[in-house]
Structure 1
């Protein structure tokens, strides 16, 4: 009888206030979302362990068939729960159990049309979306914008990357999610003209952390981003009209009944839930089956350091031989191959690679009309007729994957292009990497042949821009907490040349250590990794570094946060099979000594890769104590790795 009374009290507390207030909590009870309509405005707030993480923030949207951002009336609520499990071999964790409590909150607008806001709340994650029922005979609607907002407590600080100005940069290819970051900024200082990309990280004073992002964006909707700080809050913004050379709607064309993508909010007292979240994949489903079993792994890539001049048959043979010597699975052959090697000789090159047990990825320009990118192959990926003809040849030639570059933005037009490339590539047994591209939004689970996107200030900017070289360690300490925590990140790293060019004698000097580079191979997650090694590294790099790279996995079964602070240092652990890798890097100007807890390695013999005081690479064997604790010193711009994969 006492239990029944308690349950009734909880029900009344959650759903009875003025008959329009509803509360949904996580299974462990720590994370809480409160929804209510006040004076016609629908809003929500978020608390964690009784600390306010988001103050009352607006919900709603504006469609061509009605305004659902004001003058709303509460209709009803319904609650439930979801409990499922899935496996996925291309993210930070291969086996996932997802349990959440759900709340659907229904309102109607001044015309009597209803809108549902559906929330799913797990122990550290919130996912919500708008669900639109049929409205009479209406079957089609255009969502023009959202009122969705995020109002943080005033003491909050931000870690954000600005949205690039549309139709600027190289060949007018922006935005491509390749801006830097500002860190620890007061929220009121975030006034970038075009807002900020997802994901977006915030520290809520001493109370914890919040990561905002979105997931489930397919060809049926546009991608979104975060506005600048206005009138006390951030809001969800749709693409700027200038994207895609001004062509296409900034909103989304949706059939009824329909829904928007998911907005996600990850909350924690520490950064641990931020690093370990899988919410981007928990709330989406596969859109089709894989046409075959896809093989992941590492590859060589001549273009990153040898650049355009390496697009010739003889140099590609050298990089195929390098891949074979390193036991890598792939070579990526970049732009201009069709002109400088040709289709017939490419078939010969693919056969040579296969004779060395190396498979091939080929680069393509996505462009036909969106920007001025001119590298070839051009006009091969932007229409279905051209794609199918090209993909048929690729399949017959034995190519295993594509790297498709230079997309036009986040409009629904462009999202359809991403989806069309993926769907048709799967039909021909091809994996796809996107470059010069948007953030992947749940795509690893939605599209089984998707194997990564750039969407970051990646390795090519280390070659081209001095400021990026100087901030390499700074950015590396951000990615495990922001960009890479919501999706695979094809960075193209591990550069072991002293100078980032073919001569390796002078010019663009690398400012991080060799061990830093090895550590990023663990810190940065992508199932297919194209590394920046060059043939000379077989002679001028210590053999223990090469042996490390030969063993290094690219797929992981588990990821655990160990320590770190965005922009200062980062330490995480990943498990592949039975073996653990613990890696860290230091972006601060002074040597950093950490005492870390790594119970997964307690009592085990491990290989230890570290920099000495002269920044030279060292390798030793040692045993972690039975208490599972280890003290490590990380040099400035340096790193370390511990692994029991001996």
Structure 2
């Protein structure tokens, strides 16, 4: 908590921090710097012998050592001679209809260095209390191709790291569904790079750094860290790399090309203790504000979903899921792939949507993103790639009353796929359709610009229990500290029997994921057709208090707090909706926890908790009063959920 105390004291010095920028000696290199409003974080740029480099300091301690900057284009390198500078204080506020925090206050300091050279442009730097960021701006006229990016991240070697191998296979390329690796900074990756985000623990795990990107637009490609960092003298330097040629069925160019002026995405470094990194909203804070004025049609909530346990089936099966959603009070039902194969689908689907509307439930429909960039046969396909076809399809289903679309199998981070993502979002906004992106890239702040982007997959989620093995307890813990930090995550929790049978993950562990994992629409993967043999209906019959939990658990949050945890051992989050705190935790090994509740407000709290009973498929509910701490005993692979009022 050291930084929080320092930041409150230093907050008044924002103007001083932003004005103390430029220094040079008679013989040394020129330097420019900008610091966070609290003065703790500084990003410094050095111009020396015709090249630019940067470093990052936290309370005067070097976190990122001097690292290269620059772009190479087919018109020459981006200028590296600083010929002008400008500063501004960033003060913004916005509200999100979903996410880890509803009300967002953005405070930061910005420095823009004007660059002269073969390709004129600018280096834009930001310092916020929870991290720093920078991006390149290319000025002038005419189209240029970016052939490479010199950006590096120089970190101590041999420090704990949590990294995601970029997917290589034809089916999952670009889908961010590999297993997170716990290794060390400097480890070489297999295949084609380390995907964003990448997490590092420095200085005896007192300082944490997450590297990712934000505000990617159609002028650039999605990037990642190079798989072979340079290791030398106790340091390691990661570089930036573009997508692989094989992505998207070899459709699309690897090197981005765009007409000037344009900007690259922000290179983002979240910096702080574990809680500050997990709670940060900087990835979305850096993205372009939305231009949407009417947001009343955006409806976060819970969804019944048949695919993981019963596939799509026929309309009778979907009616059973609809009835269950109505029973529990869930807001949505998702009709997944191949609904177009139903007999007389053009009449049956609108009638089903009308039935759902009468029950107060919204219907979502699945779409294949292909297009020539994927070879997946699931239908409907070829309706989301051509702009005219896509807009007509969206207008048609919006006319039926469909509330949202799930678009799947993008399989590439190349520029053409980025352009398709954003075109789908633009067109969906015009049609007032909410969006779930699947088989997709990781979040890059788009939910701020398009707040009807409710969730994105980019995770090895519950669907993998359809294969030989799904996520383990240690994967779930890591997700809290990695993937879900940067944006909504459509993990699709609570699949029930498959997770219990394959990985011994009991009911309490799975219930906890409904709170631990944030998604603007939370798709519950368990069987929800009313069967008395298995799935939710059987669980509710055995434990009626669990039905109450699923009727009440929110999908959008006002505030999020990390109470305890470590990426390798356990995770406990508290999320607030209105006046109620929802607390959830999971663990890898058995452990006793004493949770400090001071950050949640003044007690006493009325606590109702659900935890594991005598066996993994048993649950118990209890109530108590807690003043300032909560004691929790968890078995191996266990979990718990609690409400604090």
Q: Same fold (TM over 0.5)?
A: yes
Give the C-alpha shift of residue 543 in structure 1. Answer: 1.1
Quick one: structure 1 residues 188 and 385, their matched pair in 2 at CA, closer, same or farther if it must change by over 3 Å? same
Give the C-alpha shift of residue 365 in structure 1. Answer: 0.6
CA contact (8 A) 1:140 1:256 kept: yes
Give the C-alpha shift of residue 574 in structure 1. Answer: 0.8
Give the C-alpha shift of residue 40 in structure 1. Answer: 2.5
SS of match in other structure, 2:479? coil
Quick one: structure 1 residues 193 and 336, their matched pair in 2 at CA, closer, same or farther if it must change by over 3 Å? same
SS of match in other structure, 2:474? helix
- Segments of 5+ residues of structure 2 without an aligned counterpart are 1-14, 232-236
Instruction: Choose which of 237, 240, 244 in structure 1 pairs with 2:241.
Output: 237
Give the C-alpha shift of residue 255 in structure 1. Answer: 2.6
CA distance in structure 2 between the partners assigned to 1:465 and 1:106 by the alignment: 54
Counterpart of 1:504 in structure 2 is none
SS of match in other structure, 1:57? strand
Once the two structures are superposed, what CA deviation does each residue of 1:240-259 show, in whole Å capped at 9, x if it has no partner?
Answer: 12212222222222332221
Give the C-alpha shift of residue 312 in structure 1. Answer: 0.5
SS of match in other structure, 1:348? helix
Give the C-alpha shift of residue 156 in structure 1. Answer: 2.1
Once the two structures are superposed, what CA deviation does each residue of 1:213-266 show, in whole Å capped at 9, x if it has no partner?
Answer: 101012232111111132231111111122122222222223322211111101
CA distance in structure 2 between the partners assigned to 1:295 and 1:8 by the alignment: 43
Give the C-alpha shift of residue 8 in structure 1. Answer: 9.9
Counterpart of 2:112 in structure 1 is 104
CA distance in structure 2 between the partners assigned to 1:162 and 1:179 by the alignment: 6
- Segments of 5+ residues of structure 1 without an aligned counterpart are 1-6, 501-506
Give the C-alpha shift of residue 639 in structure 1. Answer: 0.7
For 1:484-499, what aligned pairs fall within 5 Å after superposition?
Answer: 484-496=484-496, 498-499=497-498
Equivalences, count: 610
1:513 aligns with 2:506: yes
CA contact (8 A) 1:290 1:448 kept: no
CA distance in structure 2 between the partners assigned to 1:312 and 1:339 by the alignment: 9
Instruction: Choose which of 367, 373, 396 in structure 2 pairs with 1:370.
Output: 373
CA distance in structure 1 between the partners assigned to 2:503 and 2:160 by the alignment: 31
CA contact (8 A) 1:57 1:150 kept: yes
For 1:186-197, what aligned pairs fall within 5 Å after superposition?
Answer: 186-197=184-195
Instruction: Choose which of 400, 403, 415 in structure 1 pairs with 2:403.
Output: 400
Give the C-alpha shift of residue 283 in structure 1. Answer: 1.8
Give the C-alpha shift of residue 544 in structure 1. Answer: 1.0
CA distance in structure 1 between the partners assigned to 2:367 and 2:16 by the alignment: 61
Once the two structures are superposed, what CA deviation does each residue of 1:461-484 show, in whole Å capped at 9, x if it has no partner?
Answer: 022132x34x2x111111121111
For 1:143-542, what aligned pairs fall within 5 Å after superposition?
Answer: 143-165=146-168, 168-170=169-171, 173-183=172-182, 185-206=183-204, 207-232=206-231, 233-268=237-272, 270-289=273-292, 292-293=295-296, 294-307=298-311, 310-341=312-343, 342-466=345-469, 468-469=470-471, 471=472, 473-496=473-496, 498-499=497-498, 508-509=501-502, 511-534=504-527, 535-536=530-531, 537-541=536-540, 542=543
Once the two structures are superposed, what CA deviation does each residue of 1:323-361 show, in whole Å capped at 9, x if it has no partner?
Answer: 111111111011111103522111222222223221100
Quick one: structure 1 residues 282 and 353, their matched pair in 2 at CA, closer, same or farther if it must change by over 3 Å? same
CA distance in structure 1 between the partners assigned to 2:91 and 2:524 by the alignment: 39
Counterpart of 1:50 in structure 2 is 60
CA distance in structure 2 between the partners assigned to 1:283 and 1:65 by the alignment: 29
CA distance in structure 1 between the partners assigned to 2:19 and 2:340 by the alignment: 66
CA distance in structure 2 between the partners assigned to 1:624 and 1:237 by the alignment: 50
Give the C-alpha shift of residue 409 in structure 1. Answer: 0.6
User: TM-score, normalized by length of structure 2?
Assistant: 0.91
Give the C-alpha shift of residue 145 in structure 1. Answer: 1.8
CA distance in structure 2 between the partners assigned to 1:378 and 1:9 by the alignment: 53
Quick one: structure 1 residues 641 and 508, their matched pair in 2 at CA, closer, same or farther if it must change by over 3 Å? closer
SS of match in other structure, 1:480? helix
Counterpart of 1:21 in structure 2 is 31
SS of match in other structure, 1:332? strand
Quick one: structure 1 residues 10 and 314, their matched pair in 2 at CA, closer, same or farther if it must change by over 3 Å? closer
Which is worse superposed, 475-484 or 100-109?
100-109
Quick one: structure 1 residues 440 and 290, their matched pair in 2 at CA, closer, same or farther if it must change by over 3 Å? farther
CA distance in structure 1 between the partners assigned to 2:620 and 2:135 by the alignment: 50
RMSD after superposition: 2.1
CA distance in structure 2 between the partners assigned to 1:176 and 1:238 by the alignment: 15
